[in-house]
Amino acid sequence: MTQILIVEDETIIRTALRRLLERNNYQVSDAESVDQALENYKLEDFNLIITDLRLPGRFGTDLINLATNTPVLIMTSYASMKSAVDAMKQGAVDYIAKPFNHDEMLNTVNNIIVQQANLASQQQQEKVTASAPPEANQQPGAIGGTKMLGESRPMQDLYRRIQKVARTDATVLIQGESGTGKELAARSIHELSPRSQSPMISVNCAAIPESLIESELFGHEKGAFTGAVNTHNGLIEAADTGTLFLDEIGELPLEAQARLLRVLQEGEIRKVGSVKPMTVDIRLIAATHRDLKALTRSGQFREDLFYRLYIMEIRMPPLRERGKDILSLAESFLKRNCNRMHRPVMHFSNQARQIMLQYSWPGNVRELENAVERAVILCEDNEISPDLLSLETETSDLARLEANVSRHSGFSHNPGSLPRASDHQHNSRSQETRSPDLSLEDYFQRFVLENQDKMTETELAKRLGISRKTLWERRQRLGIPRKARS
């Protein structure tokens, strides 16, 4: 079981964080100070240490050097962001700003644990294969120290592109839908680049309030604005000699875009409130799910910055285009979640595997990962069935649902030959009113009304190719009551 140590002097925060982690199957120990942690525990026994920045006696950052083989996550507030950046320079694996919500903390912890497990696995693999011939060392999907799974043609093309781009120092723009793994690609580029021994600083531009974005990126001088009680070093400075990854760069305000353009053109930054420029040496990787060209036409994104970013472009393939990679990823997520939750080995039913291949995955890899985790939590035996995945049939799946309804109800495949659901409610046998543009809801409503007397809810959902949860939600939305059973 994953062992986590919390070092926090505020009892309420320490207790609440411990309960949160324990509810999510982590084994947790805690201490009020660095000295108490050293006295009561061996730091190398833990998989992760979460510590407040400011503690009685010694700073939480002291644990970075004391726990040489254990990653340290720093908790801080926006008022202490300069110290968080300094902690990253000292070797903290990440920082999280207070106040944080539960999902943010759990995602951060999970990402660190997974990254450390991947790193340990890679180091072990390197020891085993050190003397093997070069072709034996090739791992499909292994790019740098980051594991990107997938052997489909789009992913093979992506790997080759990453390897070519990584050797240069060019600015890279990664484009793709949300959940396709843009940050994984950015980390792979960094790990394969000559800057791999320097830090990679990741910034989600959409997650930082607009009023703070310039201060966080470029830093500020003491007294530059109300509340600037100390000089603050920005994240760009923290990435000096390394890589700066700006995720969701399309959300960057125009003023910050102008300052970023100067960094790319001149290689220097100027802190807010300062007249003295500072030279920085960074490699910029940006990512977005938005159409930057369209944003430039509407004046929401600077055209000159766009062309500075567009030197090298990488497009992330959506999951729906990756074929059987879907099943490989699902199996990987299934194994990881079973191990993390200490559940017995599970497998997907044939129907679940088929549905995963047919589903459009609008949320991409992130949606698949969440669906598998949810299924593992809900599963009561060792087989993951389609209903546990809770994959809703969207409007884009109209053709498939229409085919199901037509096949099971004897309807014509021509939508124009079917009556509208509203007509059916007045006379279930009426064929007088025709509709040239039947919607998905029409098919759904007609099928449910004609079959709910002779089918159970489970049978109805199965015939329609949706989950019982989705069936119930659509009944509510369309106002279709369930028939009372005699």
Say if residues 47 and 2 touch (Cβ distance below 8 Å): yes
User: Rounded mean pLDDT of the chain?
Assistant: 79
DSSP letter, residue 43? G
Mean pLDDT, residues 208-231: 76
Angle between helices 398-409 and 440-451 in degrees, nearest 10 = 30
Q: Rounded to the nearest 5 degrees, what angle is found at the Cα of 50, between the Cα atoms of 45 and 51?
A: 115
- Quickly state the pLDDT bin for 6 (edges 50, 70, 90): very high
DSSP string, 172-197: EEEE--TTS-HHHHHHHHHHHSTTTT
CA distances from 382 to 50, 329, 482 (A): 34, 18, 32
Q: How far apart are CA 64 and CA 5, in angstroms?
A: 13
How far is 381 from 375, CA to CA, in rounded Å? 11
pLDDT over threshold 70, residue 220: yes
The whole-angstrom separation of Cα 387 and Cα 351 is 10
Element (H, E) at 379: none
Domains in the chain with CATH codes: 3-109 (3.40.50.2300), 153-317 (3.40.50.300), 322-391 (1.10.8.60), 394-486 (no CATH)
Place of tokens 């509810």: 23
273-319 pLDDT per residue, tens: 777 888 899 999 999 999 898 899 999 999 989 988 988 889 999 99
Confirm if 341 and 374 have CB atoms less than 8 A apart.
no
Q: What is the pLDDT of residues 409-467, one digit of tens each?
A: 444 333 333 333 334 333 433 333 334 344 556 667 778 888 888 888 778 877 777 77
pLDDT above 70 as % of the chain: 78
What sign has the CA pseudo-torsion 334, 338, 341, 344?
A: positive
CB contact at 8 A, 286 and 174: yes
